[in-house]
Structure 1
Amino acid sequence: MSYRATERPRIGWIGAGRMGFQLAARLLAAGHDVAVYNRTRAKAEPLVERGASIVDTPADLADRDVVFVMVSASADLAAVTTGPDGLLTADAAPGLIIDSSTVSTEASVQARAAATERGADFLAAPVSGNPKVVAAGKLTLAVSGPRESFDAVRPLLELLGRGVTYVGEGEVARLVKIAHNVFLGVVTQSLAEITVLAEKGGVSREAFLEFLNSSVLGSVFSRYKTPALVNLDFAPTFTMPLLRKDFDLGLGAARELEAPMPIASATAQLVAEAIGAGSRENDFAELILEQARRSGLELKPENAKIDDGLEA
């Protein structure tokens, strides 16, 4: 183990997109020294006002104690770790790399091997949430890798959200996150189906979802998605193409592990259908529009004032 816990580790952060920006901001708010790299520098610069420093390449973060990575895809993880001017190409190497990207197990294995070769510990730590969930302090993380490293860095991880779960060695956190996102899609499709059914029978979406959310079947998620389903506000938190990527990863794992997933397979086809119909930029809750179309129902915003259940 090359990472040794300190009260104030020097932190590097790679990836200042919507999620990465908010999470880095939480570490800064807690008083940590955070240096940030983002491919588009301008997106990271507002963090300077919160106390961050900005670097020009991932390699510039190699002397940090802990480096978080949150990028969009497997190829991006490879690029920022072992690509030109990557984090693991400098003379030094960080004590610990924590990767919170949603990537394939294969990409994670390769990044872990590259880190180990340079003497850096590596934790896979994919997250569940979006920027609003982060702001409300309700982000959750699944973490896998060396238990010693997890125990050492846990206080830092707990600054990011309310739930930090160690799930095992190696890359198993990747499987946990993919399974989570497959369930996300399946639950949302099911929620769309029953909501459209109720509306076609004469019940408003607001009334039906208020009932559901008050029952034992209601959840933080169903309440959080209720404003989108009722008011048809599809400002993106997670897009349909990103959901399709996770279904592809999940069904690939299912084939490899010989674990049939018939409901997930059917939902994946409906997600593909929605993308084919043009749903690419908006939130994946647009699944309700496709469900309504198949049901011969034209949905209109109900313009109701609804609490999404999240409070900062």
Structure 2
Amino acid sequence: MTVSTPRPTIGWAGTGRMGYAMVSRLLHAGHDVTVYNRTRSKCEPLGELGATIVDSAAELADRDVVFTMVSASKDFAEVALGEQGILRQPAKPRILVDCSTVSRDVSAQVRREAEHVGTALLVAPVSGNAKVVKAGRLSMVASGPREVFDEAQPLLTTIAASVTYAGQDDLARLVKLAHNIFLGVVTQSMAEITVLAERGGVSRAAFLEFLNGSVLGSVFTRYKTPAFVNLDFTPTFTPELLRKDFDLGLAAARELGVPMPVAALTHHIVQQSLGRGHHDTDFAVLLSEAARSAGLTLEPEDADVSDGLSASS
């Protein structure tokens, strides 16, 4: 399978926080991108960067490569298979790249329809958030036909600094679910130990400075340090989205017969945070929940701490 032009025309459905940032990288690289978002106002600023804005997913179908970046399984099914769906139009893209985290059943349904109409589905979920995308630090894992991955790889590497091929079909989705379960477990552990240190009289800034300089420090612990220190829970990834990934990941674990007791407990804690009203906030709010359980009232430290990221083009 080959794309018809050296610089393929690109369609993009879904320009929330992540989709917007990812499209911006393609536009800055000079690609021809047509974008659709259910709430048009969220994608209109991309027009100033050179994007063509359309009012339905159907209007993306004649692009060479179409990306989707949506919130839930039902949204992916609607964008791909609904009445105005990309795969229901007379013209079809050669390649459909889904960067969402959706259920295996919906993905399989879309894959069957895509194969039926002659479109190749490449699954390509990502690790990071909008700021990570802007900094040029996004990671992506992809699965599907190897020749399709090879064809799409120049576009994928424009969006993400690290692109890994995981194999056929939906294997990339399992990789992403395993990753996000680990994300939740690490965040909960980071919250608990930070509360332990503060309860003993150590400032969060000092404790996390030590942690980040040790062998246990990581890009992620550095990135979450300002949120933990200054209690800035502006959403980058919400507890609700994290719970969705735990739901899907633990379902996969049950199907594959893999016990995950630590993940199951973290899932319960994430659900508890939602029960306490933490919906439209960052999942770093798990720190506040850990402090609450310890009877500790947190205050912003107003410290000048780095998130470890530097923007790049």
Q: State the TM-score, normalizing by the size of structure 1.
A: 0.98
The 3-state SS of whatever aligns with 1:36 is strand
Q: How many residues align?
A: 311
Aligned ranges 1:226-305 → 2 under 5 Å: 226-305=225-304
Name the residue aligned to 1:109. 108
User: Using a 3 Å threshold, how does the CA distance of structure 1 residues 5 and 185 change in structure 2: closer, same or farther?
Assistant: farther
In structure 2, C-alpha distance between the alignment counterparts of 1:150 and 1:139, rounded to whole Å: 18
User: Cα distance, 1:234 vs. partner?
Assistant: 0.4
In structure 1, C-alpha distance between the alignment counterparts of 2:133 and 2:228, rounded to whole Å: 21
Amino acid at match of 1:208: F
Name the residue aligned to 2:24. 25
Q: Which segment drifts farther, 38-47 or 181-190?
A: 38-47
User: Cα distance, 1:4 vs. partner?
Assistant: 2.7
The 3-state SS of whatever aligns with 1:181 is helix
Aligned ranges 1:69-88 → 2 under 5 Å: 69-88=68-87
In structure 1, C-alpha distance between the alignment counterparts of 2:198 and 2:23, rounded to whole Å: 42
Name the residue aligned to 1:124. 123
Q: What 5-or-longer segments of structure 2 have no aligned partner? A: none
In structure 1, C-alpha distance between the alignment counterparts of 2:54 and 2:295, rounded to whole Å: 53
In structure 2, C-alpha distance between the alignment counterparts of 1:105 and 1:4, rounded to whole Å: 27
In structure 2, C-alpha distance between the alignment counterparts of 1:231 and 1:56, rounded to whole Å: 40
User: Cα distance, 1:7 vs. partner?
Assistant: 2.5
Is residue 30 of structure 2 the alignment partner of residue 51 of structure 1?
no
Q: What 5-or-longer segments of structure 1 have no aligned partner? A: none
User: Cα distance, 1:56 vs. partner?
Assistant: 1.8
Name the residue aligned to 1:206. 205
Q: Which runs of 4+ in 1 moved over 4 A?
A: none
Name the residue aligned to 2:310. 311
User: Cα distance, 1:5 vs. partner?
Assistant: 6.7
User: Cα distance, 1:81 vs. partner?
Assistant: 0.7
User: Cα distance, 1:145 vs. partner?
Assistant: 0.2
CA contact (8 A) 1:5 1:153 kept: no
Identity of aligned residues (%): 62
The 3-state SS of whatever aligns with 2:96 is strand
In structure 2, C-alpha distance between the alignment counterparts of 1:251 and 1:147, rounded to whole Å: 28
In structure 2, C-alpha distance between the alignment counterparts of 1:234 and 1:18, rounded to whole Å: 15
Name the residue aligned to 1:100. 99
Name the residue aligned to 1:171. 170
Name the residue aligned to 2:64. 65
In structure 1, C-alpha distance between the alignment counterparts of 2:295 and 2:43, rounded to whole Å: 45
Cα deviation digits, residues 77-113 of structure 1 (max 9, x gap): 0101110111011111100000001101111111111
User: Cα distance, 1:60 vs. partner?
Assistant: 1.2
Name the residue aligned to 1:38. 37
Cα deviation digits, residues 1-49 of structure 1 (max 9, x gap): 3x43742100001111111111111111111111111111121111111
In structure 1, C-alpha distance between the alignment counterparts of 2:239 and 2:39, rounded to whole Å: 24
The 3-state SS of whatever aligns with 1:203 is coil
In structure 1, C-alpha distance between the alignment counterparts of 2:294 and 2:288, rounded to whole Å: 10
Name the residue aligned to 2:156. 157
The 3-state SS of whatever aligns with 1:9 is coil
Cα deviation digits, residues 177-209 of structure 1 (max 9, x gap): 111111000000000011101111111111000
Name the residue aligned to 1:191. 190
Name the residue aligned to 2:145. 146
Q: State the TM-score, normalizing by the size of structure 2.
A: 0.98
The 3-state SS of whatever aligns with 1:84 is coil
In structure 1, C-alpha distance between the alignment counterparts of 2:86 and 2:242, rounded to whole Å: 28
Cα deviation digits, residues 253-295 of structure 1 (max 9, x gap): 0000000000000111111111111111110101011111111
The 3-state SS of whatever aligns with 1:159 is helix
The 3-state SS of whatever aligns with 1:167 is strand
Amino acid at match of 1:27: L
User: Cα distance, 1:297 vs. partner?
Assistant: 0.9
Amino acid at match of 1:33: D
Q: Which segment drifts farther, 206-215 or 49-58?
A: 49-58
